[in-house]
Amino acid sequence: MLRPYMPAEERPVTQEERLARRAELRADIHRLEVELEGLREAELRLLDGCEHAYADGRSAGAGGQMRICAICGRVLKHRDEKLWG
Ligand SMILES: [Zn+2]
């Protein structure tokens, strides 16, 4: 005789199922971590072209040798200011 289907939450979960579920979750976590890494790199590349400026038009970069954007906090690569007139 066939057993009626019982939803997962109504029957005890076996250790085997827990381990299988854990393996699934770990695979998901790993996949998301890889994805997250990719997104962070994309974010950094996007901000590479930071052109934040103060209201008066000056670059929002602050500091000497190491310029840091006052708005997004990104470390800016040294730029030749003459390019901007
Ligand atoms: Zn910025």
Residues 16-75 pLDDT 10s: 999 999 999 999 999 999 999 999 888 877 766 677 887 777 777 776 777 788 888 877
Residue 83 C-alpha to ligand 1 middle, in angstroms?
18
Contacts of 67 (CB under 8 A, 6+ apart): 61, 75, 76, 78
Residue 35 C-alpha to ligand 1 middle, in angstroms?
24
42 and 71, same structural domain? Answer: no
**Domain residue limits at 82:** 52-85
DSSP per-residue string spanning 1-23: -PPPP--GGGSPPPHHHHHHHHH
**Number of domains the chain is built from:** 2
What pLDDT, on a 0 to 100 scale, did the predictor assign at position 25? 97
Is the pLDDT score of 80 beyond 60? no
42 and 18, same structural domain? Answer: yes
64 and 43, same structural domain? Answer: no
3-state secondary structure string across 48-84: CCCCCECCCCCECEECCCCEEECCCCCEECCCCHHHH
Q: Is the whole model's pTM more than 0.85, yes or no?
A: no
* Spatial separation of the C-alpha atoms in residues 37 and 34, rounded to whole Å: 5
Residue 34 C-alpha to ligand 1 middle, in angstroms?
26
Q: List the shell of residues around ion ligand 1, using CB closer than 5 Å.
A: 50, 52, 69, 71-72
